[in-house]
Amino acid sequence: MIAGTLLALAGGVGGAKLADGLAALLGDRLGVIVNTGDDFEHIGLSISPDLDTVLYTLAGIANPETGWGVAGESWAFLDQAVRLGGPGWFRLGDRDLAIHVLRSERLRRGERLSAITADFCRRLGVAARLMPMSDAPVRTVVETASGPLPFQDYFVRHRCEIPVTGFVFAGIEQARPTPEILAALAAEELGAIVLGPSNPFVSIDPILAVPGLKQALRRRGVPIVAVSPIIAGAAVKGPAAKMMRELRLEVSALAVAEHYAGFIDGVLIDEADAALAPRLEALGLAVRVAPTLMKTPEDRRAVAGHALTLAGAVPAGRGSA
């Protein structure tokens, strides 16, 4: 465990569940830097899928079946929008729509995404500080054999079916770590940084690609640990395993750790992957083996606890700048 504050990096569902477990243990001592590379504009609305998944999850209103949107959702808007000639491929629920409409208006008025997100957290009673990785728009483009695809086209329209060859984070040169992120990093009581079990390529990498952010995280000198999104050669949710195969990587927690090599100090892997521990330790990493599937709120807290324990176990000397 850690005494001070903690920074987590998160994408969608997996990162949101870990963040929820961490929030249960740490409350307002938790800050979450959230990927905004999946953000996009749709029928004039600014949509931030990962921010919303983390926010809804921490607010206790996430839809447990879909992994996105609000529980108990209704679809009157979408029905009517399609009837009026609008697109139906991106499913916007009636309740979910509120955050998109309000966010879009506030962005158009010049408010920063960070400030809007902080306000939404307060309104929904979320004590943890959710922080978009950037206030400037960054858009993940998935490179495929058939050409580049905007992320949501790849993810929702094409259901991740087209093999990927790489990723581009359009706009990343203009992105900067936000004042909120820099303040959280500068906090004297910061005890550790945790990479959630999110997709390394399209959830965590965009965050680390914000110019200056990866270096700032590393130089801060606190333990950085990752929770593997790969369990027994498969991703719990989403296209991470499929992407790894298409990128000719081994689909394993080892390949994830190698992807983060030189940046992380430790890795939390599932019991099913216990045999990988010696090879991970050989990379110089602290390793913790535990059940990492998060099906219940108790699971989330338990995995969060293991991540904190792992961070606390990183030997002195590691985690220093």
Helix, strand, coil fractions of the chain, as percent rounded to 5: 45, 20, 35
Closest contact distance (angstroms) between CB of 116 and a second copy is 10
Give the Cβ contact number of residue 173 at 10 Å. Answer: 12
Binding flag, residue 88, a second copy (CB under 8 A): no
Residues in contact with a second copy, shown as a per-residue x/- string from 5 to 44 under the rule CB under 8 A: --------------------------------------xx
In this structure, are residues 7 and 223 in contact, taking their beta carbons and an 8 Å threshold? no
Query: Which is it for strands 224-227 and 190-195: parallel, antiparallel or unpaired?
Result: parallel
Residue in 1, 28, 89, 101 binding a second copy, rule: CB under 8 A: 101
Q: Which is nearer to a second copy, 119 or 143 (CB)?
A: 119
Instruction: Of 126, 119, 131, give the one whose Cα is nearest residue 36.
Output: 131
In this structure, are residues 319 and 265 in contact, taking their beta carbons and an 8 Å threshold? yes
Binding flag, residue 299, a second copy (CB under 8 A): no
Instruction: Of 189, 186, 260, 181, give the one whose Cα is nearest residue 219.
Output: 186
Residue in 45, 131, 231, 285 binding a second copy, rule: CB under 8 A: 45
Closest contact distance (angstroms) between CB of 115 and a second copy is 12
Binding window for a second copy (CB under 8 A); candidates: 23-31, 82-90, 192-200, 257-265: 82-90
Binding flag, residue 54, a second copy (CB under 8 A): no
Binding flag, residue 91, a second copy (CB under 8 A): no
Closest contact distance (angstroms) between CB of 29 and a second copy is 25
Return the sign of the alpha-carbon dihedral for residues 36, 204, 290, 266.
negative
In this structure, are residues 137 and 147 in contact, taking their beta carbons and an 8 Å threshold? no
Q: Which is nearer to a second copy, 69 or 229 (CB)?
A: 69
Helical (H) or strand (E) element with 53: helix 49-59
Binding flag, residue 232, a second copy (CB under 8 A): no
d(CA 207, CA 189): 22
How many residues bind a second copy (CB under 8 A)? The answer is 32
Binding flag, residue 85, a second copy (CB under 8 A): yes
Q: Which is nearer to a second copy, 44 or 147 (CB)?
A: 44
Cα–Cα distances in angstroms (integers) from residue 37 to residues 21, 65, 140, 295, 318, in the given order = 24, 23, 5, 26, 30
Binding flag, residue 115, a second copy (CB under 8 A): no
> Which residues of the chain form contacts with a second copy (CB under 8 A)?
43-45, 70, 73-74, 76-81, 83-86, 93-99, 101-102, 104-105, 108, 119-120, 123-124
